[in-house]
Amino acid sequence: MEEKEATFLDFFKEVPDHRIDRLKLYSVPEILLLTFCGVVAGCDSWDDIEEFGKAKIEYLRGYFPYKHGAPSDDTLRRFFRALDPTIFETCFIKWVESLQLNLAKKVVAVDGKTSRRSFDGNGSPMHLVSAFASELGIVLGQMKTQEKSNEITAIPELLALLDITGAIVTIDALGCQVKIVEKIIEKEADYLIGLKGNQGTLNDDVRWLFENKSEEIIFHTYQEHDKGHGRLETRRCTVTENIVQLKEKHAQWKSLRSVVEIESTREIKDKVSTEKRYYISSLPAKAMPILHAVREHWGIENKLHWVLDICFGDDQSRIRKGNAPRNIAIIKKTALNLMSIIKKASPRISLKRMRKKAGWDNDFLETILSAKF
């Protein structure tokens, strides 16, 4: 039998086989292919994946022998609990890099998400920081932290692994740290980072600059409106790079070029609410592209975190022991990346329906496996 070439598996060849030789009934590629296909097709547990394997064994044998049939749920469980996730994540990043994404002037949003039910016993739920190319809908990589506050150390470690040359890295105020800014500049990217009280006088000084506008300082403004579902929302971006004194006072912020105020006004019937947010950036003072970048940052919530919860049942997943939660997160993100590529050509099909169709239709599953950006 001539085996098919499973393109995405080529980038997981470095995944080590940690099992005892006498217990190896299935090769690493056989286990990875089954798990990946099962997750694409809507499987949410090891039992689901085993049943999927039994139903699709002839399809799977088009790739690999599967001499002993489909791996059991116990085999899958043991394998992924022991698999070193750092190597698995490195393979994932290499695969993403092979897509040859053009990130120049595109937003790479960085943010964390907790998988609510991934805790085991008295342990904490898994918290992962992800880098997401918002306009492209592609996950670039992930890094595990012990808790949300440790995002500060995880973000530069994650960025160090990625090729983000020319990108605009956006992070919320928790990531407003000198070392994170230094890592972004070192990686030849730009930054747009939220400000709050965690940086003390920098936050106060930027607010004062906008609240006490001087005629000697040039401010650039761009405004846009959204209307729908009985709501009118107005967003105004004001930006300036005439910040000589600010840069002198806060010289530790590498390549600081501009500061930004985003004013959002929401009208719902007779209720009006206004919110102001502030940012520091290495970008030039161009209000329209900066407002676009701020809005694209929220793509990591709407296109990644929300999708993982609603379409992949991430918060409800009970895969929780050992390294399994972190490893299955990579498989979900691999599946999401490839389905996002398919969706660009077929925008009317939802990701949830796409998962169902992959379970019903072998040809469609094959289309996902062979998707190229």
> In a 3-state reduction of DSSP, which class is residue 266?
strand
Q: Output the pLDDT for position 367.
A: 93
Q: Are residues 13 and 100 in the same domain?
A: no
Last residue in a domain, options 250, 274, 305 = 305
Q: Are residues 125 and 75 in the same domain?
A: no
Q: pLDDT category, 122, cuts 50, 70, 90?
A: low
Q: Output the pLDDT for position 6.
A: 45
Report phi then psi at 274, rounded to 5.
-130, 140
Q: Which residue range is the domain that position 339 belongs to?
A: 7-83+322-369
Q: Are residues 260 and 185 in the same domain?
A: yes
Question: Which helix (H) or strand (E) covers residue 208, if one does?
Answer: helix 201-211
The verdict on residue 310 lying in a domain is: no
Q: Quick check: 37 pLDDT over 90?
A: yes
Q: Are residues 158 and 242 in the same domain?
A: yes
Q: How far is CA 169 from CA 226, 254, 267, 278, 317, in A?
A: 25, 14, 30, 16, 30
Q: Are residues 274 and 327 in the same domain?
A: no
Query: Which amino acid is it at 43?
Result: C
Query: Which amino acid is it at 269?
Result: K
The verdict on residue 317 lying in a domain is: no
DSSP string, 299-349: HIIIIIIHHHHHTT-TTT----STTHHHHHHHHHHHHHHHHHHHHHH-TTS
Closest CA to 254 of 191, 168, 160: 191
pLDDT single digits (tens) 230-264: 778 899 999 999 999 999 999 999 999 999 999 99
The residues near 250 (Cβ < 8 Å, ≥ 6 apart) are 201, 202, 205, 256
Q: Output the pLDDT for position 84.
A: 92
The verdict on residue 116 lying in a domain is: yes
Q: Output the pLDDT for position 365.
A: 96
- Mean pLDDT in residue range 273-287: 96
Q: Are residues 188 and 294 in the same domain?
A: yes
65: how many CB neighbours lie within 10 A of its CB?
12
249: how many CB neighbours lie within 10 A of its CB?
13
Q: Quick check: 117 pLDDT over 70?
A: no
Average pLDDT, rounded, for the chain: 91
> In a 3-state reduction of DSSP, which class is residue 146?
coil
Q: How far is CA 91 from CA 49, 94, 111, 179, 366, in A?
A: 22, 5, 21, 26, 21
The verdict on residue 315 lying in a domain is: no
Report phi then psi at 176, rounded to 5.
-80, 85
Contact 80, 19 (CB under 8 A): no
> In the chain, pLDDT over 90 holds for what percent of residues?
75
The verdict on residue 34 lying in a domain is: yes
Q: Are residues 216 and 112 in the same domain?
A: yes
Instruction: Tally the domains of the chain.
Output: 2
Q: How many Cα atoms sit within 13 Å of 240 on the Cβ side? A: 17
Q: Are residues 64 and 183 in the same domain?
A: no
Q: pLDDT category, 121, cuts 50, 70, 90?
A: low
Q: Greater confidence, 137 or 9?
A: 137
Contact 137, 96 (CB under 8 A): no
The verdict on residue 252 lying in a domain is: yes
Which DSSP state fits 60? Answer: H
Q: Are residues 177 and 268 in the same domain?
A: yes
The verdict on residue 316 lying in a domain is: no
Q: Are residues 74 and 48 in the same domain?
A: yes
- Mean pLDDT in residue range 101-116: 93
Q: Are residues 55 and 102 in the same domain?
A: no
pLDDT single digits (tens) 168-216: 999 999 999 999 999 999 999 999 999 987 677 999 999 999 999 988 9
CATH code: domain of residue 276: 3.90.350.10
Q: Quick check: 139 pLDDT over 80?
A: yes
Q: Quick check: 4 pLDDT over 70?
A: no
Dihedral of the alpha carbons of 176, 181, 184, 185, in degrees to the nearest 10: 150
Q: pLDDT category, 148, cuts 50, 70, 90?
A: low
Q: Are residues 213 and 122 in the same domain?
A: yes
Tokens of residue 359, six digits: 């379970």
Q: Output the pLDDT for position 88.
A: 93
Q: pLDDT category, 119, cuts 50, 70, 90?
A: low
pLDDT single digits (tens) 288-341: 999 999 999 999 999 999 999 999 988 888 788 889 999 999 999 999 999 999
The verdict on residue 314 lying in a domain is: no
- Mean pLDDT in residue range 222-229: 85
